[in-house]
Amino acid sequence: MPTGTALAWFVSYTEEEFSVLNILSELSGFMPDSSEHFDVRFDVPFTHRLRFTSDVFAADGDTLSELLESSDSKPARVQFWLDQNVADARPDLEALIRRFSDSRTDRIDRVGKVQLVPGGEEVKNDIHLLEQMLKVIKVAELDRRSYVVVIGGGAVLDAVGFAAAIAHRGIRLVRLPTTTLAQGDSGVGVKNSMNLFHSKNWVGSFAVPWAVVNDTELLTSLSNRDFICGFSEAVKVSLLKNIDLFDRICTKAAAIRARDMSVAGPIIRESAKLHLDHITLGGDPFEMLEARPLDFGHWSAHKLETMSGFSLRHGEAVAIGVAIDSVYSSLELGLDADFAERILRSLVDLGFRLNDPSVDDVEVLFDGLEEFRQHLGGRLTLTMLPVPGQPVDVHSVNRDKMLAAIEHVRQFARTEGAFRRDE
C-alpha cells in the first residue's frame, strides 16, 4: 500500500485525536510537545465458541473438525494434548483421537503424537513443566494459526492453555474438558494459569479459547468424587444468577449424586451457559475491575486448597467456601438464616463434606483474604449474598462473624455432613 494511502487511512480513523501535521512530525522523528496526551479507547472483537456433544471423537466428530478452520488451502495443523489421568482411565482414548484425525486428513494435519501431561494439580505445581510444554510446541513448529487441542480436567486445561497463550503470544486453543467442574465452569472461562510460590494461580494469562467442546462421553471415566465436584460451582453460580436453578439442584441432588445424566447433564449445561454469559456480557471479561462476582466463596477455597497440600479438590474447597460465605452473609448482611441452612444442606445432599483438617487452622486461613486482595489488585473486594440472586460487593470482613461462620459450618459438617468420600 502506498505511504500516502496508509497515512490517509490512519488520519481518517483518528481524525479527532490527530492532525496530519502531528503524524508527519512523528514520522520525521520530531516528538510532540510533552504536554500532549493521547488516550485512545478501542475494542477488540472476540468470538467464544461453545459446543455440546455426546461423542466428540466418533459420532459427533464433525463438530470438532469444523471448528478447526484452516487459514489457507492446507489442512489445519493440530497438536493434541491429553491428561494422563484421563488416559489411564480411558486406555482407548489415544487411539480414538488418532482415528478421528486420520479420518479427516482433508481438514486436520495432526502434528506428532498425542502429548501426555500429568493430571490434577501436579501439572500446575511444577513450573518446569511449562518450559517442557513450550519446547514441544517449538519443536513442532506450531504457529499462531495452528491449534492446540487439550483434553483433560481443569488443571490440565489451565497449564496447557497457559503454554498455548504465551507461545508466539497466542496459539489457537481448543478445550475439551473431561470433568463436571471444567465443563460447567473453568473450561468455558478465559483464564489460564499455574501455581507458583505456594499460591494458587499466581502466574497466568487471560486468553479467549478458540473453542470449548463439552462432551458427555468424556465424563464417563470420572470417579464419583470427581463427578460431584463440579456441582459446587453450579450451586455457586445459581445462587448468584438463577435461583430457579438452585431450587432444581436442591430437589434433584440425589439424582445428581447417583450420576443420572438426564438430570445432571442439563444442570452442567446451564452452569456453563451462566458462566459464559457473565464472561461475555458482564462487561469485565478480563477482570480489570475490583469485583469478581463468580468468585463467591473462593477467597477461602483457594487458601484451603494450598493448606491441604491440594488433597482437597477445587470443587470440594469451593463447597466449603460457599458454605462459609453463605453463613457469613446471614450473620452480617441479612441473608435469611433458613436459606443459608438450605445452601449447606444442598451441598451435603450432593455428597460434599463441609469440613477438612485445613479449616481448623483459622489464622492461616485468614491469610487467604490478603492473598485474594493481592490477586485482585487494589482493595479487598468480596462477593456476598444478602438476598438470593442479588449479590453485593463488600470491602471488609467482620472477623468475629467470619469466625462464627466458619465454626457454624464445622459444626454442621460434624452433625449433618458425615458422608464418606467415594473415590
Residue 238: inside a domain: no
Confidence of residue 33 (pLDDT cuts 50, 70, 90): low
Residues 339 and 412 in one domain: yes
Of 171, 195, 219, the last residue of a domain is 219
Asked whether the predicted pLDDT for residue 175 surpasses 70, the reply is yes
Residues 59 and 192 in one domain: yes
Give the residue numbers spanning the domain of 28.
1-34
Residues 29 and 86 in one domain: no
Residues 77 and 209 in one domain: yes
Asked whether the predicted pLDDT for residue 12 surpasses 80, the reply is no
Residue 205: inside a domain: yes
Residues 210 and 348 in one domain: no
Long-range pairs of 301-304 with CB within 8 A, sequence gap ≥ 24: 302/200, 302/201, 302/368, 302/371, 302/372, 302/375, 303/200, 303/364, 303/365, 303/367, 303/368, 303/371, 303/372, 304/356, 304/358, 304/359, 304/365, 304/368
Residues 83 and 212 in one domain: yes
Of 314, 308, 363, 340, which Cα lies nearest the Cα of 409?
340
Residues 8 and 54 in one domain: no
pLDDT for the residue 19: 52
In this structure, what C-alpha cell is assigned to residue 418? 458425615
Residues 79 and 12 in one domain: no
pLDDT in tens, 327-379: 999 999 999 999 999 999 999 999 999 989 999 999 999 999 998 888 777 78
Confidence of residue 25 (pLDDT cuts 50, 70, 90): low
pLDDT in tens, 76-107: 999 999 999 999 999 999 999 999 999 999 99
Please provide the size of the chain in residues.
423
Residues 14 and 108 in one domain: no
Is pTM beyond 0.75? Reply is: yes
Asked whether the predicted pLDDT for residue 398 surpasses 80, the reply is yes
Residue 253: inside a domain: no
Residues 67 and 206 in one domain: yes
Asked whether the predicted pLDDT for residue 123 surpasses 80, the reply is yes
Of 173, 192, 219, the last residue of a domain is 219
Residue 306, phi then psi, degrees to nearest 5: -70, -40
Residues 310 and 402 in one domain: yes
pLDDT for the residue 105: 95
Residues 296 and 184 in one domain: no
pLDDT in tens, 374-391: 877 778 999 999 999 999
Among 100-114, 148-162, 276-290, 399-413, whose mean pLDDT is lowest? Answer: 276-290
- Report which of residues 345 and 18 the model is more confident about: 345
What's the domain count of the chain?
Answer: 3
The enclosing domain of 84 has a CATH number of 3.40.50.1970
